[in-house]
A and B are shown apart, each in its own frame.
Chain A
């Protein structure tokens, strides 16, 4: 058994919050570069160039790439041989988010009650997903999720007979409805299968996959390619101002499901596709 001090979790989460917001991951920057090379619209091309400049400036000056530093979604995989001491696990994660958003000068974008809508002032609570896995390590990923793209996400139960065509139509319609509102070029996280709760979780987890990496199952990888092409044929383009680069990637995650069901979820990630991971 390995002992980990709760304070280490707090410090790690705090650092992940601002690092994620300041430094856009390399796979996203590479995605911008590829899109900029092929973009057919002059407006779209100029937008992509400006986004790359913005990422460079944010990195150099240690500033958030986008002002919407999101609601923090924290994914934690805890090895079953780890024992956390010195504090309540969930409190430590929330304290890490509180510290990270304060010390990183990140925007506080969370209201405490969804109907009364008073800003909590410290960007907590974060959404925390915890999984127990084999081993004696803790893997933490912080995904600061912006509101514009999250708002355009969608879920639907298709009839099993609607099959792959039904899935394609639903994903495409979701992207068309989102248009420029989701801040393209986007990453389109898709979940297929599972239950009502599981399918949205799959879509969210899909967003964490590195751009350029396909699903290991050939028929799912094929669907990813087809959807990417179809989405980039919508004409929506960067910022919805027309063009051929609407999506940078379409990662799909799947799970078994009930004989009656074919659930599909689409979690849209804007071009500020921030994520940062640490293994303790």
Chain B
């Protein structure tokens, strides 16, 4: 599988070449937002109002960190379940977000939106929080501070490890990989795991 080192902002050309299963090492600026922030932002978009942060061409990381210990840039952090952001994702992609980072499978509405708007949905490993927090070099709360762990944060990341889960062709890594291992032991006669 191809491995890419990408720098933000990710260009439309870069997005097009990304295929499911590709690994991406991402460096640059990403924005952290999850449930409560998405609810507010999509309400703004529906009312043709500006977002509190410019997110056109940006990547959103669905996550909420632990508080940092003294001397840490950020506390442990890893993606939350992307599925919960599915109802908001099409509006965000339409607005101009080029990528999202979450964990777990997503609904067809997200696949369709990625295809329609030339965007991707990345997977990072859920719960890999100690390791991933080391890839974050700077963090700043930029909106909705009242939401605590759910506030929107701007992150500077270095070599943040991602997998392309849904690409701009509408392909689905979860579906493809699970099918390979269904009843795997019977298929290969390797015995019980």
Which residues of A pack against B, CB within 8 Å? Answer: 35, 38-41, 43-44, 47, 50-51, 53-54, 57-58, 61, 63-69, 105-109, 117, 119, 121, 146-148, 151, 179-183, 229, 232-237, 239-245, 270-272
Contacts and interface: CB of A to CB of B under 8 A. Distances in A.
A106 B177 contact: no
Contact of B178 (A35, A108, A119, A236): A236
Contacts of A65: 76, 127, 129-130
Which 4 A-B pairs rank lowest in CB-CB distance, beginning with the nearest? A242-B177, A235-B182, A235-B181, A180-B104
A63 B149 contact: no
A239 B127 CA distance: 10
Nearest to B74: A67
B80 A148 contact: yes
Contacts of B127: 51, 54, 65-66, 68, 146, 183, 270-272
Interface in B33-77: 36, 63-69, 75-77
B105 A229 contact: no
Given A181-B83, A241-B177, A244-B181, A232 B128 contact: no
A66 B76 contact: yes
B160 interface: no
Given A105-B68, A108-B148, A64 B178 contact: no
Contacts of B67: 105-107
A18 to B, nearest CB: 11
B131 A240 contact: no
Contact of B66 (A38, A54, A67, A270): A67
A244 B182 CA distance: 8
Interface string B124-154: 0111111101000000000000011110000
A241 B163 contact: yes
Given A148-B81, A181-B81, A235 B178 contact: yes
Contacts of B103: 148, 180-181, 183, 239
22 contacts: A44-B181, A50-B131, A54-B127, A57-B130, A58-B76, A63-B66, A66-B126, A66-B129, A67-B63, A67-B129, A108-B148, A119-B149, A147-B81, A148-B103, A148-B104, A179-B105, A182-B104, A235-B181, A235-B184, A242-B178, A242-B181, A271-B127
Given A41-B181, A51-B125, A67-B129, 4 more contacts: A44-B181, A50-B125, A66-B127, A234-B182
A179 B174 contact: yes
Contacts of A53: 131
A169 B179 CA distance: 19
Contacts of A51: 125, 127-128
A239 B148 contact: no
Interface of A (DSSP majority class): loop
Nearest to A55: B130
Classify chain B's interface size.
35 or more
B81 A151 contact: yes
A237 B130 contact: no
Nearest to A236: B178
B147 A119 contact: yes
A64 B178 CA distance: 30
Interface stretch (B2-10, B89-97, B185-193): B185-193
B17 interface: no
A183 B126 contact: yes
Nearest to B149: A107
A131 B90 CA distance: 48
Contacts of B147: 119
A145 to B, nearest CB: 13
A180 B174 contact: yes
Contact of B105 (A108, A147, A181, A235): A181
Contact of A64 (B76, B192, B193): B76
Given A148-B81, A180-B103, A64 B130 contact: yes
Contacts of A146: 127
A24 to B, nearest CB: 10
B66 A239 contact: no
Interface string B7-39: 000000000000000000000000000001000
Contacts of B125: 47, 50-51, 239
